[in-house]
Each structure stands twice: as structure tokens, then as C-alpha cells.
Amino acid sequence: MADTNPSKRRDDVPRDPSHGSGRKGPLAGVRVVELGGIGPVPFCGMLLGDLGAEVIRVDRPEEAGRTSPFPVLHRNRRSLTVDLKQPPGADTVLKLVATCDVVIEGFRPGAVERLGLGPEACLARNPRLVYGRMTGWGQDGPKAQEPGHDINYIALAGALHAIGPADGDPVPPLNLVGDFGGGGMLLALGVVSGVLHARTTGRGQVVDTAMTDGTALLLAMTYGFLAQGGWRDERGVNVLDGGAPYYGVYRCADGGHVALGAIEGPFYAALLRVLGLTDDPDFARQQDRAAWPVMRARLERIFAERSRDAWAEVFEGQGACVTPVLSLVEAAEHPHNAARGTYRPGARGGYEPAPAPRFVGSPTAEPAPAVAIGTHTEQILAELGVDAVEVAALREKGIVG
């Protein structure tokens, strides 16, 4: 069986050439185990894989052979199916953990401990391991064991209250703020920071990432404004929440919309110049909240006179911070995004976001498409020293798919 000596160097571990040492990007050589989940944890795994890490996702044996339900979030993975509820399955994953730099998981607090795969068990096998945990409420606190989704986490963190019109209800911003911005993105930062620390000190650690904490962190500037009296704790009445007439969305003649972001003086002046409002006394009072309703009503009438694309043409190159509001498909096909390769053809049709950010010194590779669940089970077990007879026995008992 595989050597589980925790002092074993990661460089001594056999790697698949297409997913391990052959990977390109700043995280090439980093090996990650992702315990199956949805939302923020797969997003974190995607980010790490996009940047060159080798990511091995662990799913349940009964899912073996199925097409991945999340073809973009599951790109750049090798796939292993193991029944974690059976001790031999958990022991197999511990053998894998001994060869890795990072584990990421998104179970409720205490769940992986009951499986024998909690931080204590994993760090005992690999003291240099970074164990990244992703939950909605955190590992402790009064709500730690309660269920929830993105909308609940951003509601309790204060973000949802701040998004939406002044005369309407809060509007969920998809699941971008909790799941992905305050969740998966923060988990990725946490585990990369942990890897740097482990390589400096030789010691691993646990990263406790909570979507409520991450959402609060995303509100850092807003809370700073609030403390200084520059933000009213109301929805749709502030500069950046659609309250200001020069920072918002306007409906056009064809039902499309344009987005205005003319905050600073030069951009605001360009906006007025293009619209012929430079000498209008109402628009001379940009920061006077009392004038905002009149300014907004006037802008609503003006933008309703032409189509979205007509306005986009009028404002192109004018420096007024006015852009069309594009659909998902339109965004992928916009000339600027096309020129930069911001989106790429999806493995199953359509489009998907390309890896970001970009690195000049260690560029990333084209993402590898998501594979069928369990595709690499036998390959990974062989790398761990599990011979064909043992694999057959594990399969017969339903421990691996």
C-alpha cells in the first residue's frame, strides 16, 4: 500500500502527467482533494484547477459513470468515487490526503469528523496539510448547525437589505455574493495563503471559511462609508446602490437598458456634454440629494427616446462611463470580451468564463473539460499502491465505484 509517512515530500508522489506535474500555471505542483459538494467548494476547486493545481474530486460510488451536473465548475478535475461512510473508503481517502497539499470540504460542522476525515485525522496523516472548510454560518456560533443557502447568508450579513430599489423589496443578486464572492473565492484565497504558510513553516492548518463572514468582508467599504456618515442604512438612496441618478440603470426605447457610472467630475461632465445638459441648472447640483429626483426623471425621459444599442453607439469612446446592459450570451460575444478571450467555447456548447486572473510569467493552460464521475478511480488507486485485487474487492463491497 502507499507510504503514508507525513514527512514524505510532495515531489515524491506520482502524478498524472496531464493533471499533475504537467499542469501549467502559478499553482502547478499543488495537489488538492475536493470532497464532493455543490456551489462554493466546486467553485474554489475550479479556481485552483484553472491556475494549475491538480484537483481530485471525491464523489459517491453510486454516481459513477454519470455526466457531471456542473460542467464548468467541475472542469480541470480528476474524479474518484469512494463511499466515505464505510471505514475502508475513508481510509482510502486518508491515503490520498497523505499525498496532497490541500483538502477542501463543504459539509456541516462535525459531519466529516463523523466520517473519520476531519482536520485532526487528516493533519495526523499529513502535518503540512491545509484543510479548507466552507460553510454558510461558520464552524461555531448559534446558527452553525442550521441549514441555509446563499440568500440566507447574505440576508443575515446585511448585504441583501442593501440591494434593490428604494420603493421595492430586496433583490437577490443571483448567488454571486454569498456562494462565490464571499464563499468560494475567499476559500481559494484562504487555502493558497495556507499553502504559502505551510511551505514557509512546515506546518499545515485549518481554514474556517463562512459565507456570512465573507459577505461581511465584501461590505468593508460600505461599512466604512456608514461609519463616516456617508451611507444611509436604507436601500436605493445612496450613490452606489442606484440612488444617485448618475449611477444607475435606465430603460431604453426598445426595452433594453444602459448602465451609468458617471461619478467623478470628468465622467459626469462627459455625460452632460453628450446629452446636451451641460448648461442645465438642475444637473449643476450633482451631489445635492434634493435635486436627484428631478435629475433621474429627466434622464429617464431622455434614455427612453432611443434604443439601447443606439445609445451604446452614441457613448462609445466618449469617456462618460455609459455601457449597454448585455445578456449572458451578448456579453460573451461583445468585441471587447472576444478580443481578450474573457469567455471561451463551452465543452458542451455555449460559453464559459475563461480562467482569471492572467499571469505573464506562468500562463495557465486551456481548461480541461469535466469528465464523467469516477473516470480516474482505478488510476488514482493505483497511484496510491492499491493493486488490482484490492480494487476488485473494494468494488465488490461497493466502497469504490
Residue 187 to residue 205: CA distance in whole angstroms: 13
Tracing cell 451604446 back to the chain, one arrives at 312
Tracing cell 485485487 back to the chain, one arrives at 389
Instruction: Indicate the residue type of 137.
Output: W
Half-sphere exposure of residue 160: CA atoms within 13 angstroms, side-chain side? 17
Cα torsion angle, 150, 368, 194, 8, sign: positive
Q: What angle do CA 296, 297, 301 make, to 5 degrees?
A: 115
Residue 93 to residue 84: CA distance in whole angstroms: 8
Task: Give SS3 for 55.
Answer: strand
Residue 208 to residue 187: CA distance in whole angstroms: 8
Record the cell numbers describing residue 120, joined without a space.
485532526
Phi-psi region of 361 (alpha: psi -120 to 50; beta: other; left: phi over 0): alpha
Nearest to 321 by CA among 357, 252, 253, 272: 272
Record the cell numbers describing residue 294, joined without a space.
428631478
The question of whether 179 is a catalytic residue gets the answer yes
383 contact partners, CB below 8 Å, separation of at least 6: 2, 13, 14, 15, 16, 99
Task: Give SS3 for 231.
Answer: coil
- Which of these is catalytic: 50, 83, 101, 179? 179
- Which of these is catalytic: 149, 161, 197, 257? 149
Question: Quick one: DSSP state of residue 160?
Answer: G
The question of whether 3 is a catalytic residue gets the answer no
Beta strands at 257-261 and 343-345: parallel, antiparallel or unpaired: unpaired
Contact 130, 191 (CB under 8 A): yes
Contact 183, 39 (CB under 8 A): yes
Residue 20 to residue 161: CA distance in whole angstroms: 44
Any idea which residues carry the catalytic annotation?
Answer: 149, 179
